[in-house]
């Protein structure tokens, strides 16, 4: 589905990135979501991307699994990891009891590891992704009953 890009909105978000020093901003409505990111310096000081990046994404409604009762949905686009590192056991497994706010996985986005907390207390009924899998905004990750 094609969307007309609101160039004024993109310019406002880009200006806000400059003013705040942030690397990325997202803006969403019920029908669409836009992410504006600026190039981040690499270790050698060169930009990793040549220009400002703008991405328009579809809403979570396009991911039917997000409608599962008790599903924890991804708050961002990135790579999901079920364990803190390859040699460690996973944060949770099917049947694990979790408390609201407890870390259940990590999503790497723009080389930053973001802990993903349980959205409610309960028992992990399903894990809908594999470790190392790319995930999208609004995608169901696991189900807590």
Q: Report domain extents, the chain.
A: 7-58, 62-144
Lowest mean pLDDT among 59-68, 74-83, 104-113, 122-131: 59-68
Give the pLDDT band (50/70/90) at residue 18: confident
Q: What is the pLDDT of residue 131?
A: 92
* Residue position matching structure tokens 């207390």: 121
Tokens 């991405």 belong to 55
Is 3.30.210.10 the CATH classification of the domain at 62-144?
Answer: no
* pLDDT at 106 (0 to 100): 94
pLDDT given at position 56: 46
Tell me if 136 sits within 8 A of 57, measured CB to CB. Answer: yes
């Amino acid at each position: 589905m094609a969307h007309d890009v609101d160039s004024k909105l993109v310019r406002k978000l880009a200006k806000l990135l400059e003013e705040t020093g942030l690397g990325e901003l997202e803006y969403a409505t019920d029908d669409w979501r836009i992410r504006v990111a600026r190039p981040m310096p690499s270790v050698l000081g060169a930009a990793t991307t040549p220009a400002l990046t703008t991405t328009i994404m579809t809403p979570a409604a396009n991911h039917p699994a997000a409608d599962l009762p008790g599903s924890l949905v991804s708050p961002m686009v990135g790579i999901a990891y079920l364990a803190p590192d390859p040699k460690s056991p996973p944060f949770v497994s099917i049947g694990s009891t979790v408390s609201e706010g407890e870390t259940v996985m990590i999503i790497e986005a723009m080389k930053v590891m973001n802990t993903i907390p349980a959205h409610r207390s309960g028992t992990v009924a399903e894990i809908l992704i594999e470790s190392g899998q790319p995930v999208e905004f609004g995608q169901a990750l696991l189900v807590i009953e």
